[in-house]
């Protein structure tokens, strides 16, 4: 099938590449000329395990191309995937200007039947706006051309997005006409050969499903973080509590790990957007408002632990920071807890030496040049001259460090672990003080 993907960000590039990998002819459109140039010159604008090799393989096979030519992109595919950004507006709602603009461009240049697929995470009712934008452009041209609008939300985890797309646990399709449904079934047939994964529903239910999924996962995280904070006050161990409740099959173990709060491009934005959507409909989502408030507070927990142990005046102290990305296997630092901690440490007069295996370039872009922020080439190098160590991202390479070497390097032998990576007895046996989230 010929497919156009509008937007070469995280969702668009992964989706387009994976669709090409099963034999489709995919043309990816982006108005960012620098991004398209990077892709055409052999680079990719994001870090995602396995993606770069897949892009190169499909490009070499002629199944995947990149362009800034809107007219050519609209002409290419019967299926037009909209995968542009929907950043949060000032009131927390999703900013749909790029989605509507993309839909308008399809209406402006289409010369035959198109299925316009909303792949971006969008509020309920966005398909109606997309439909109206296309219809308006067609009316301005005096053209009568059939088209369909479908909701097909993505469920990709950063760091595992390629596997998630190629081996989906579900494929949600919101559509209301048989012609579009048939094309979507044909498109996704290669991804569900052993059993049916496609869940067909109306468009608005599909739009809500994406927000509901992310909101539920965010709720589990905030719930466990609040329990972890309570466990500390009560003298309980949250790790034992986690095992006890996770063994209940009605609950399970997924997303029950306490830490320093969720971040990234999805959970914060989608929780806020769903709260705003409900308010616009005359309803207050009290649980989600609490989830959002709890998460904002949790991002400050590691900073509170540091000041409780070392004092509020950190002038002249240097902190080694392990991890910058909001989670492992990505370079995404949007809403990352590391940014909150760095801001507090700098405000209290401290310096930071940070290590992250892939996110340093993104940190430099966000944090700029600051003489009190340095970047190390390895976890142990980050400890050089440091007073204490703070762990913010649970990269695998942090799981089994040499605690004796850590103790030897730190001026104050203390670890502040925001991801509960270690059995507390292990670093303490090596002579380190160890502060985690909800651990004894």
Annotated catalytic residues are 266
- How far is residue 170's CA from residue 172's CA, in Å, rounded to a whole number? 6
CA terminus-to-terminus distance, the chain = 57
CA distances 145 to 1, 111, 128, 137, 150, Å, are 20, 7, 17, 11, 17
Q: Which residues pair with 199 in a beta bridge?
A: 172
Kindly give, in sequence order, each residue whose CB lies less than 8 Å from that of residue 224, ignoring residues fewer than 6 positions away: 238, 242, 255, 256, 257, 258
**Tokens 């901690």 -> residue:** 341
Q: How far apart are CA 119 and CA 113, in angstroms?
A: 19
Note the residue count of the chain: 440
Residue 304, C-beta contacts closer than 8 angstroms, at least 6 positions apart: none
Give dist(CA 267, CA 214) in Å, integer: 6
Point out which residues pair with 351 in neighbouring strands.
318
Name the pairing type of β-strands 79-82 and 2-6: parallel
Dist. CA 219–CA 91, nearest whole Å? 21
Task: Determine the Cα–Cα distance for residues 334 and 80; give it in Å rounded to an integer.
Answer: 28
Which secondary structure element, helix H or strand E, spans residue 79, and what is its range? Answer: strand 79-82
CB 418 within 8 A of CB 301: yes
Which value, to the nearest 10 degrees, does the dihedral of the CA atoms of residues 353, 358, 359, 360 take? Answer: 40
Q: Residue 431's closest CA among 418, 421, 439, 410?
A: 410
Rounded to whole angstroms, what are the CA distances from 391 to 242, 338, 363?
21, 9, 16
Task: Give whole-number Cα distances, 285 to 106, 274, 279, 291, in Å.
Answer: 35, 8, 8, 10
| Collapsed DSSP state (helix, strand, coil) of residue 353 | strand
Interstrand relation of 318-322 and 198-201 (parallel, antiparallel or unpaired): unpaired
- DSSP class of residue 94? B
Torsion of CA 54, 172, 84, 394, to 10 degrees: -60
């Amino acid at each position: 099938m010929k497919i156009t993907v509008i937007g070469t960000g995280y969702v668009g590039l992964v989706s387009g590449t994976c669709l090409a990998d099963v034999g489709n002819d995919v043309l990816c459109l982006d108005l960012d000329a620098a991004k398209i140039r990077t892709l055409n010159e052999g680079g990719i604008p994001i870090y995602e395990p396995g993606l770069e090799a897949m892009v190169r393989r499909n490009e070499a096979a002629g199944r995947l191309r990149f362009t800034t030519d809107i007219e050519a992109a609209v002409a290419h595919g019967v299926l037009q995937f909209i995968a542009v950004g929907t950043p949060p507006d000032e009131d927390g709602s999703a900013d749909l200007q790029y989605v509507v603009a993309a839909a308008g461009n399809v209406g402006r240049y289409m010369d035959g039947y198109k299925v316009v697929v909303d792949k971006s995470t969008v509020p309920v009712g966005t398909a109606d706006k997309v439909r109206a934008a296309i219809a308006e452009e067609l009316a301005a041209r005096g053209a009568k051309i059939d088209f369909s609008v479908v909701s097909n939300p993505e469920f990709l985890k950063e760091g595992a997005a390629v596997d998630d797309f190629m081996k989906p646990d579900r494929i949600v399709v919101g559509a209301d006409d048989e012609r579009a449904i048939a094309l979507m079934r044909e498109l996704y047939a290669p991804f569900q050969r052993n059993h049916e994964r496609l869940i067909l529903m109306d468009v608005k239910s599909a739009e809500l499903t994406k927000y509901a999924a992310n909101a539920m996962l965010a709720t589990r995280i905030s719930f466990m973080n609040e329990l972890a904070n309570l466990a500390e006050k009560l003298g309980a161990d949250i790790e034992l509590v986690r095992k006890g409740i996770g063994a209940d099959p009605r609950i399970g173990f997924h997303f029950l790990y306490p830490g320093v709060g969720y971040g990234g491009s999805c959970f914060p934005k989608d929780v806020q957007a769903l709260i705003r959507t409900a308010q616009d409909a005359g309803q207050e989502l009290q649980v989600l408002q609490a989830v959002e408030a709890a998460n904002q507070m949790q991002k400050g927990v590691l900073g509170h632990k540091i000041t409780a142990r070392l004092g509020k005046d950190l002038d002249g102290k240097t902190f080694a920071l392990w991890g910058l990305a909001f989670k492992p296997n990505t370079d995404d630092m949007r809403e990352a807890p590391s940014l909150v901690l760095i801001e507090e440490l700098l405000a209290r007069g401290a310096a930071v030496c940070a290590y992250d295996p892939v996110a340093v370039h993104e940190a430099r872009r966000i944090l700029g040049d600051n003489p009190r922020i340095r970047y190390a080439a390895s976890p142990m190098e980050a400890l050089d001259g440091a007073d204490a160590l703070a762990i913010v991202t649970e990269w695998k390479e942090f799981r089994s460090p040499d605690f004796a070497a850590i103790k030897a390097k730190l001026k104050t032998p203390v670890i502040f672990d925001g991801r509960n990576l270690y059995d507390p007895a292990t670093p303490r046996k090596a002579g380190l003080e160890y502060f985690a989230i909800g651990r004894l």
